[in-house]
Chains A and B, each alone.
Chain A
Amino acid sequence: MEEVKEHKAQSKAPAKSPKKEVVIAIKGLKKSFGKKEVLKDINLEVHAGENVVVLGKSGQGKSVTIQCIVGMLVPDGGSLKVFGDEVADMNAEELKHLRMKIGFLFQSGALYDSMTVRENLEFPLTRVLKLKDEHKIQERINEVLEGVGLIDAVDKLPSDLSGGMRKRIGLARTLIIKPEIMLYDEPTTGLDPITSREISELILSMQKKYKTTSIIITHDMECARITADRVVIMNDGKYIAEGTFETLHKSQDQIVKEFFKDIS
Chain B
Amino acid sequence: MAAVQEQELTGWRKWFAGIGDQCVFFTSFLRNIFTGGFEWSEFVRQCYEIGYRSMMLVGITSFIMGAVLILQLRPSLVSFGEESMLPTTLSVSLIREIGPVITALICSGKIASSIGAELGSMKVTEQIDAMEVSGANPLQYLVVTRILAVTCMVPLLTIIGDIIGLIGGFIALNITDSISYVLYFHKCVAAIDFSDFLPAFVKTIFFGFAIGFVGCYKGYNSNKGTESVGIAANSAVVTASLWVFVIDAIAVQITSILFYK
Contact = CB atoms under 8 A, between A and B. Distances in A.
Interface stretch (B2-10, B158-166, B249-257): B2-10
B47 to A, nearest CB: 15
Contacts of B133: 70, 72, 99, 102, 104
B136 A108 contact: no
Given A34-B7, A99-B134, A110 B1 contact: no
A108 B125 contact: yes
A127 B2 CA distance: 27
Nearest to B124: A108
Contacts of B131: 112, 123
Interface string B111-139: 00000001000100111011111111100
Contacts, number: 70
Interface residues of A, number: 30
B126 A100 contact: no
B125 A99 contact: no
A177 to B, nearest CB: 7
Contact of B126 (A97, A102, A106, A114): A106
B201 interface: no
A111 interface: yes
Contacts of B185: none
A75 to B, nearest CB: 12
B2 A110 contact: no
A110 B126 contact: yes
A174 B129 CA distance: 13
B44 to A, nearest CB: 14
Given A33-B4, A63-B2, A110 B130 contact: yes
B29 interface: no
Contacts of B25: none
Interface in A84-121: 96-97, 99-100, 102, 104, 106-108, 110-114
Contacts of A96: 135
A77 interface: no
A59 interface: yes
B134 A112 contact: no
B134 A107 contact: no
A54 to B, nearest CB: 14
Nearest to A96: B135
A34 B4 CA distance: 9
A221 B133 CA distance: 27
B11 to A, nearest CB: 16
B2 A59 contact: yes
A128 interface: yes
A106 B130 contact: yes
A180 interface: no
Contact of B136 (A107, A128, A185): A128
Nearest to B128: A110
B1 A185 contact: yes
A185 B129 CA distance: 13
Contacts of A63: 1-2
Given A34-B8, A100-B135, A107 B1 contact: yes
A72 B5 contact: no
A262 B157 CA distance: 63
Interface in B134-163: 134-137, 141
B135 A110 contact: no
A127 B137 contact: yes
B126 A124 contact: no
A154 B131 CA distance: 20
B126 A33 contact: no
A195 interface: no
A251 interface: no
Interface in A50-100: 59, 63-64, 67, 70, 72, 96-97, 99-100
Nearest to A106: B126
Given A99-B132, A111-B127, A174-B134, 15 more contacts: A34-B8, A38-B4, A67-B1, A72-B129, A99-B133, A99-B134, A104-B130, A104-B134, A106-B126, A106-B130, A107-B126, A110-B129, A113-B122, A114-B118, A123-B136
24 contacts: A33-B5, A33-B6, A34-B6, A63-B2, A72-B129, A72-B132, A96-B135, A97-B135, A102-B133, A104-B133, A107-B1, A108-B125, A108-B126, A110-B125, A110-B126, A110-B130, A112-B122, A112-B131, A113-B122, A123-B134, A123-B136, A174-B134, A177-B135, A185-B1
